[in-house]
Amino acid sequence: MWIEARESEAGYSLVEVVVAMAVLTVAILPMVGMFEAGLRAATASGDYDRARSCAGQKLEQAKSLPYEAVKAWPSAGVCETSGLDYTVDTEFVDQDLRNVGEDEGLMKVTVTVEWDDGANSYGVTGVVSEW
């Protein structure tokens, strides 16, 4: 009678439980990698947003300065809000935005922000006019 009662009871055997755990482990491990990749992407996106904000801010500062002041503007610095390093490159251009050697009243200003020791960068370019 004891044997009949045990055979009639529904349940999982130890082998079934171990197989189910193995299947779940195989399914969950790739998801852990996806979470890690998602966190890296979110961090990179935040860095990119900070760099874009810094570059835009510095370009707008250059555009708001008088033309002569942009010529003397510092060529590098650190953004106050993000702590990222930036460089400013200027070159004289003509009306077709081609590089010219002398000042014709137009200047192309390029702000480049770098992070992760120069491994990543973001740049933005604008034109400042004397007129």
Mean pLDDT of 72-93: 91
Q: Classify burial at 72, counting beta carbons within 10 Å of its beta carbon; exposed 0-12, middle 13-18, buried 19 or more.
A: exposed
Q: Grade residue 61 by pLDDT with cuts at 50, 70 and 90.
A: very high
In this structure, what token pair is assigned to residue 86? Answer: 């930036």
pLDDT, averaged across the chain: 88
Q: Are 109 and 70 in contact (CB under 8 A)?
A: yes
Domain count, the chain: 1
The 3-state DSSP class for residue 104 equals coil
Domain region containing 10: 2-129
Alpha helices in 9-109 (DSSP H): 14-64, 67-71
Q: Which of 51-55, 95-99, 116-120 has the highest mean pLDDT?
A: 51-55
| Cα separation, 120 vs 82, whole angstroms | 15
Q: For the whole model, what pTM was predicted?
A: 0.70
